[in-house]
Structures are given as structure tokens and as C-alpha cells.
Amino acid sequence: MLQARVTLDPAAVVAPVSRRTFGSFVEHMGRCVYTGIYEPGHPLADEDGFRTDVLALTRELGVTTVRYPGGNFVSGYRWEDGVGPREHRPRRRDLAWHGIETNEVGIDEFARWAAKADVEIMYAVNLGTRGVQEALDVHEYCNQPAGTHLADLRRANGAEKPHGISMWCLGNELDGPWQIGHKSAHEYGRLAAATARALRAAEPGLQLVVCGSSGSAMPTFGAWEATVLQETYDLVDYVSCHAYYEEHDGDLGSFLACATDMDHFVDSIVATADSVGARLRSRKKMQLSFDEWNVWYMSRFQDQPKPTQWQVAAPVIEDEYNVADAVVVGNLLISLLRHSDRVTAACQAQLVNVIAPIRTEPGGPAWRQSVFHPFARTAALARGVVLRTAIDAPVYETSRYGEAPVVDAVATHDAATGSLALFAVNRDQARPVELTVDLRAFGAPARPAGSWTLWDDDVRATNTRDRPDRVTPRPAEGVTVDGHTATLQLPPVSWTAVRLTTAPTG
């Protein structure tokens, strides 16, 4: 058995846990909207056509903020196609995913769904084929209370109260040549700045997200952010980050260590943003919105033949996730929490069917994928502040990311209730780890208050329609708390969460 040690101190605070860390993403793509959140003919559909089984799972997942309506889709989207009487809404080609968009669901329907799911909307405007005026129009439609043309149109369409959306993304991934309306950093930076200025003139308190790179492998990574932020630094609150990971060629060791890449990604964007801020003599600290992250077997998708037919809601990238994928998702959440001083919003992409924690069958059941579980438990347990988590663990060599520690972990502490949550992964493929948690700095002795571990003898096991609970967390074995020391056994390739009760001090 390997040995590792974590030392926690309630005074070593990174930042408050931002509830927006537990965001998700609903794009008009594949079966995320149609037969995902919305399926009017389904036996469990409510009066608005929303699947109540998906709504219940969304609430159980603990999602706080949902980015909408794209993604690549948004760069060719006309928001006004999706409002007003359904029989007048046009069917359009979606060039991003080669589908037909029926526009049965638009912003008013999505706002109704968001209220039922108890989530905040993060709305992305189209800066691919459109610009400042259309961004202002959709803002007026959504947020202006009454007495103007578009506000009154919303009311006439049945939404008396404004949708009150406070977080707005200025386009999506415009650095990518695949993006409809792809731009150079300079072109995009100017357009994003003009759009931000106009939106702020309409509503000064909005929180605006400017597009960073679509991934760290982009040739313009870093340079794109520097140019875009030079144009927009004082006008926006967040720069976006996007990262997807997959296991390449059976290299499980590297895949399990991919959170070290996310750590590096965040550190690089923080350094880039801070250097622009320094150049501009600004005291503002740019926040990061990691508004697309997940495991995505992109190489399988890229190898598939491109569709020749234009179809409505054809399945696209419906990855089936296994135990190792769930361990990685739990680890990526550890990385995001660790950076809570700068990453204050994040969205797992996506929510339903499309690389998603929730899967559905049209007319049939909905079920939790393996990756659902670490997200749901982390969202439920992470409260209060994130603690700087000192880890002493053996290391191993990976071909993609160099040396990586076998154990990664982060802790949160709610001083008011005394609740301490520790999240940890064991990346070793063969050996369990005995993890010792040093709690001396907490003063009074701690008590165990629940544990969950996700592992399996078969790291390739998945949940399916017929075996929806094949992969599910179980109580962690071997958790002992002896006053100021907790000891946990972490099985090989596992994710674990432990809740401890300490003396409330808040």
C-alpha cells in the first residue's frame, strides 16, 4: 500500500467556494435540448413539454448556472427565431452541427425550464454572424422590464417578468477556424469591446465573459488572450477557458493525470491576464470562467463520417462514461476548486446526452452516467471556503504531462457549521493508498460524518439504460478518525469524498 499525507489548516484559505463552479451547459446540439430536457410527447413531460425525470436529475446533480444556447451553435443563431407563436417559428439549418433547428425551444421556454430546475442562466450572444445590435436586442428582450418594443414583445409572448440574466458571454470560441464567423484576436477583441460597452450602457451591472482560446492546443493560445484582453480588460469580468480530456491510445496513466494540465492551463491564463492588467496599470483581477470542461472522446467523433442528411435532434457525441472517466471528472473539479481565487465560474459541458452526466432515451428512461456522481457529491459537499491543501504523495511518470503525484486532493471548510469536506483521487492503477489527514490546526477533535468512494475492479464499467446503477459511489472503507488525524484507504483508480465535523467557529 502506498502512503500519502494531507495537512489542513482552517486559516489557510484560498477563497470562498463559488456556487457558480457547479455550472453546466445546454446547447442546441444533438439531443441535449430535443429529447433531452424537452420532449413534449414523453410520458413524464410536464405541461411545458419538459421531461420531469431530467429536471429531477438536474436538481440532484446540484447544477447552479447553465450556459445557453451554445457553443458553436450560437455563432449562427438568430435568437428571435425562437420567440413568439411556435407555428410561426422558422426551421433553420444549424451549420455548426449540421442539423435542423426547429426553434420549438427558445429563450422564453429555456427561462421557464431554468426556473423549474432552479438554475441561473448564463446567456451567450452570437458574435459570429452578428454583432452589437443583435446583442442589445436580445438583452432588451430578456432584461428590460417593460415599455420598449422588445420588452413588450416578451410580455406579449407570455413572459411578463424579465428573465433577469446577469451573466452574458460575448460569443463562443471565435479563435477556432471551425467557428461560423471565426475572427482574428484583434477583430474579435474590437467587436467584444464594442458589444461590452453597449451592453453596459443598457445595464451597467451585467457580468460579461470574453472568449479566451477554445483550447490550450490552439496555436494562438496565450497570444489570443493577451490581444483580446488588451481591448476589453476594463469592460469585462471574466475570460473564458475551455478544455476537454480523453484517454489516448490506452494511456490511462496520462489520462488520470490530466487535472495537472488543467492546473497549468489556469495558471497560464492567470499569468497572461495579470500581465495585461499590469501593462494597463489596472488593479482589477480578471476572473476565469471555465465554461466548457469535461471528458470528451473527441478523436472518436473526428474519425466519424460527417452527416450527409439534415436531421432534427440526431444523436451527436453521446459518450458513454466509465469509472476512470468519473475519477477524472472528480479530479477536474478538485482542480477548479483549488483555483477558486480566480476561477469563479465553470460549466461542465454538457448537461444531457451530449458528452453529459445525464442520458435519456426518447420515450424511455433517463439515467445517471458515472461522471454524474463526483459532480453531484462535490456540489453537495463543497461549502464555505476552499482550504490550501498541502499534499505529500509519491509521484509517477506520465508520457503526456511528465511527473504527477499519485494523490490529488482539495478540502472545503464551513466555519459556521464546522463541516469539513475532503475530495481526493488515487491515480495509481494497481495499489491502494493510505491517506493520512493531519487536522491538528482545527483544535477540537473531528468526527466522521459520511464518506463516498467511486471505484470498481473494472475501470471500464459504465452505466447503461439496462444497468443504470452499475457504477455508483459506495461508503468509503477504512475511514478512521482519531482526534486530530483522519485515515482513509483510497482504492486504485478511485475518487473519494469524506465529510468530517469539526467545532463550529463562525
292 tagged catalytic = yes
The contacts of residue 225 (CB under 8 Å, 6+ apart) are 212, 213, 239, 269, 272, 273, 276
Could you tell me which residues are beta bridge partners of residue 360? Answer: 366
As measured in angstroms, the least distance from the Cβ of 350 to ligand AHR is 6
- Nearest distance in Å: CB 477, ligand AHR: 36
Give the active site residue among 80, 120, 247, 292: 292
Nearer to ligand AHR, 34 or 452 (CB): 34
Nearer to ligand AHR, 259 or 349 (CB): 349
Ranges of H-type helices in 296-424: 298-303, 323-338, 372-381
User: Minimal CA–CA distance to 258: which of 393, 404, 127, 384?
Assistant: 404
Query: How many CB atoms within 10 Å of residue 284?
Result: 12
Which residues contact ligand AHR (rule: CB under 6 A)?
27, 70-72, 172-173, 214, 292, 349-350
Helix axes 132-143, 107-117, angle to 10 degrees: 50
403 is catalytic: no
- Write down the least CB distance from residue 174 to ligand AHR, Å: 10
* Helices marked H in 203-322: 223-232, 252-256, 258-279, 298-303
Q: Nearer Cβ to ligand AHR, position 70 or 374?
A: 70
Cβ neighbour number for residue 121 with a 10 Å cutoff: 24
* Alpha carbon of residue 369 to chain centroid: 16
- Give the shortest CB-214-to-ligand AHR separation in angstroms: 6
Name every residue whose Cβ is closer than 8 Å to that of residue 395 and which is 6 or more positions away in sequence. Answer: 403, 404, 405, 406
**Which residue in 101, 173, 225, 247 is the catalytic one?**
173
Per DSSP, the three-state class of 151 is helix
Task: Pick between residue 321 and residue 452 the one whose CB is nearest to ligand AHR.
Answer: 321
Residue nearest to ligand AHR (CB): 71
Read off the C-alpha cell for 309.
442528411
CB of 417 to ligand AHR, least distance (A): 36
Q: Which is nearer to ligand AHR, 263 or 319 (CB)?
A: 319
The sheet carrying 494-501 orders its strands as 13-16, 385-387, 407-414, 419-426, 494-501, 447-454
Measured from the CB of residue 316, what is the shortest distance to ligand AHR in angstroms? 9
Q: 252 to each of 255, 257, 327, 427, 463, how far by Cα in Å?
A: 5, 9, 11, 9, 20
CB of 136 to ligand AHR, least distance (A): 23
Query: How far lies 430's CA from each of 310, 324, 409, in Å?
Result: 47, 13, 19
Minimum distance of ligand AHR from residue 179's CB (angstroms) = 8
Q: How buried is residue 452: exposed, middle or buried, by Cβ count under 10 Å (0-12/13-18/19+)?
A: buried
Of 75 and 344, nearer to ligand AHR (C-beta) is 75
Say how far apart CA 333 and CA 470 lie, in whole Å.
Answer: 22
Q: What 3-state class would DSSP assign to 82?
A: helix
Active site residue ranges: 173, 292
